[in-house]
Amino acid sequence: MVRGPEFDNYARDYSGGNEDPLKRLFGGTLDQFVNVKARWLWNYLRKGRNGTKLSEDFQLLDFGCGTGEMLRWLNRFGFPGAMQGADVSPAMLQEAEKRWGDAPRPLFSLIDETTTHFEDNTFSCIVATCVFHHIEPGKRDTVLREIKRILKPGGIVVIFEHNPLNPLTRLIVKRAVIDKNAFLLFPRETSERFDRLSLVNEKLEYIMFFPLALKVFYFLEKYLAGIPLGAQYAAVGRKNDDRTAKTKEVFS
């Protein structure tokens, strides 16, 4: 994951790179840009697949939460459970607390690059929004293994990432100061990492096909989700606690 001091420099006026007019095509502000992913996650969780049921006992962690936009959107949607945010940047966490508003504030925690302080089997869902491209490729399995450790059996990790199969996405990332040290993940890499760590590949969908100016066509995105040209993608992996999965990881 990106070192804390690197993103500390962007925290006060953090906009997620939306000062770039190309990126603003897909969201005029950081809040609008995150809204697309938050709504996708909210709709997915509400479907309650494979025993995932939203309730007061549902524990969600925003891993690499930045300034907290994902959590704020879930709060607006009426998320019923407990939410936490974690990040490597102290300044980002401070900014998240300042931006939160009057609603009951989630617990924000500082973590390091590859480990957290959370106990085993804590969270029902862990979401990482455009985090993994800031993690050095050689450390990604280590981070994903830590995420798996703190997931409850049957819990899910949801990874939103830039889609390098989209030429405009690659151009936007190349132009972004905050992504100067980024290493984009192809969807296949994310799926293979799930397999390697015995996380069940539950879902892979492409999102953000239409710019904000064409939001009238957003309803079509669900029909395009299997086409690898969306600006970003969502990958869902489920922690399976059966012995076969554990044996597979040990010998992989």
- What is the tens place of the pLDDT at every residue in 78-126? 999 999 999 999 999 999 999 998 888 999 999 999 999 999 999 999 9
Contact 91, 66 (CB under 8 A): no
Which of the 8 DSSP states describes residue 11? S
3-state helix, strand, coil in the chain (%, to 5): 45, 20, 35
Dist. CA 66–CA 55, nearest whole Å: 25
Residue ranges of domains in the chain: 4-250
pLDDT at 104: 86
With bands split at pLDDT 50, 70 and 90, how would you rate the model's confidence at 20? low
203-224 tens-digit pLDDT: 999 999 988 778 888 899 999 9
Query: Predicted confidence band at 5 (pLDDT cuts at 50, 70, 90)?
Result: low
CATH fold group of domain 4-250? Rossmann fold (3.40.50)
130: left (phi over 0), alpha (psi -120 to 50) or beta: left
Q: What is the pLDDT of residues 137-179, one digit of tens each?
A: 999 999 999 999 999 999 999 999 999 999 999 998 888 888 8
Q: How far apart are the first and last CA of the chain?
A: 23
In contact, 205 and 161? CB cutoff 8 Å: no
Residues 6+ apart with CB under 8 A from 85: 61, 62, 65, 68, 71, 93, 96, 106, 107, 108, 109
Query: DSSP of 35-56, one letter per residue?
Result: HHHHHHHHHHHHH-GGG---ST
